Amino acid sequence: MLEFLENIIPSSPVALVVFALFPMVIIIVYALFAIWLERKVAGFIQDRLGPMRTGGFHGWAQTIADMLKLIQKEDIIPKDASSFLFKLAPFMIFTASYAAFAVIPFSSGYIGSNINIGVFYLLAITSFLTISIIMASWASNNKWSLVGGMRTAAQMVSYEVPTIVTVLSVLIVAGSMNLMTITEMQTGNDIMGFLPNWFIFQNPFLIVAFAIFAISMLAESHRVPFDLPESESELVAGYQTEYSGMRWGMFMLAEYADMLLLSLLGATLFFGGWNSPFGTFMSGPIWGFGWFMLKGMLLVFVMMWIRWTLPRYRVDQLMHICWSILIPLSFVNFVLVALWEMIF
């Protein structure tokens, strides 16, 4: 793809920038769509219609209108806030999730950086998300922000352990950390004659691993039932309390980008990435991109569905689930995955 861009764009640094901006386009289009979808899903689950008027067809332009409103709003910085860190935090959180998209193979023809430490880089760079939230919460100089930030730190540090262990169980099946290689290994339909070679079908214990990954994914992107950092009934809006206008919009964008990132990571690790479920039928770079986004959006939809179905856990229950259930289970499962790989 970079070579193609260099052929049509005369200057190679400009081609490189266009190449690097490709995930940004996806994130922004996705965020506009996903916020609308979230309202529609919420509406339908609660037996109402959701936004219906803006733009005509089922209120499709609602998010665009909201974004234009956010851009026009006054930029308020509290007098006693730590000004520099307060301004920096929203940009840093979006940078962190955007940087992680560099190693996601969007299709067989596009991956930002085809490096061998792909998954490891992704896990490392997303730790900046936690730092940015702590930065926002501390710089706001607000007790609700601070409590929300402390909860975020505890939650993200705890749930990183089951996430990393389940990712590791996929890596021992794959034998590579490069997400492109991992996806290429899942090409073909050989299991029981018709099932695609996705990792979730290759090893029965990876189904358990995916269940653990899905739960920790909800906690890592702090969605309901694990949205303690911004639980509005206790903390107003958590670390976002003092933010308004487009700075708040950046947090929203980063949150949705984070959802997409973790869903796409799950789709790559367990559901074959850009591979078509029908073997060579409907496969190719463009179809692959479609399949990949479809798989990611399905996982995003499940996260929305859970949000409007389950109530929120308490802080102690959250920690209990992680340290007493998920972490031991994920370690046992890790050994079982490895044993299955050794025997078969």
Would you tell me which residues interact with other proteins (CB under 8 A)? 3, 6-8, 10, 12-13, 80, 82, 85, 115-117, 120-121, 123-125, 127-128, 130-131, 134-135, 138, 141, 146, 150, 153, 157, 177
What is the smallest separation between the CB atom of 146 and other proteins, expressed in angstroms? 7
Please report how close the Cβ of residue 237 comes to other proteins at its closest, in angstroms.
Answer: 19
Q: Which one-letter amino acid corresponds to residue 256?
A: Y
On whether the CB atoms of residues 317 and 193 are closer than 8 A, the answer is: no
Closest approach of other proteins to the CB of residue 295, in Å: 26
- For other proteins, the closer CB: 32 or 235: 235
d(Cα 178, Cα 183) in Å, to the nearest integer? Answer: 9
For other proteins, give the closer residue by CB, 167 or 208. 167
Tokens of 329: 């289970």
Of the candidates 175, 185, 176, 170, which has an alpha carbon nearest to the alpha carbon of residue 108? 185
Q: What is the DSSP string of 187-201?
A: -S--BTTTB---HHH
| Residue (131 or 298) nearer to other proteins, CB | 131
Contact 212, 166 (CB under 8 A): yes
Name the residue with tokens 């309202």.
39
Of 242, 247, 239, the closest CA to residue 150 belongs to: 239
- Select 31 or 89, whichever has its Cβ closest to other proteins: 89
What is the C-alpha separation between 60 and 62, in angstroms, rounded? 6
When the beta carbons of 81 and 208 are compared against other proteins, the nearer one is: 81
CA-CA distances (angstroms) from residue 250 to 61, 67, 70? 19, 11, 10
Nearer to other proteins, 196 or 229 (CB): 229
Q: Do residues 92 and 249 lie in contact, with contact meaning Cβ atoms separated by under 8 Å?
A: no
Least spacing, CB of residue 2 vs other proteins, in Å: 10
Half-sphere CA count of 27, side-chain side, radius 13 A: 25
Q: How far apart are CA 52 and CA 201, in angstroms?
A: 41
State whether residue 116 is helix, strand or coil. Answer: coil
Rounded least distance, CB 177 to other proteins, Å: 6
CA angle 62, 255, 147 (to 5 degrees): 120
Q: Which is nearer to other proteins, 4 or 305 (CB)?
A: 4
Closest to 63 (Cα-Cα) out of 305, 299, 304, 253:
253
Q: How far is the CB of 122 from other proteins (least distance, A)?
A: 9
Instruction: Calculate the alpha carbon distances from 255 to 11, 25, 286 in Å.
Output: 34, 16, 27
The Cα–Cα gap between 291 and 306 comes to 23
Asked if residues 111 and 180 have their Cβ atoms less than 8 Å apart, the reply is yes
| Rounded least distance, CB 116 to other proteins, Å | 4
- Looking at the Cβ atoms of 138 and 271, the one nearer to other proteins is 138
Shortest distance (Å) from residue 82 CB to other proteins: 7
Smallest distance, Å, CB 315 to other proteins?
16
Nearer to other proteins, 116 or 317 (CB): 116
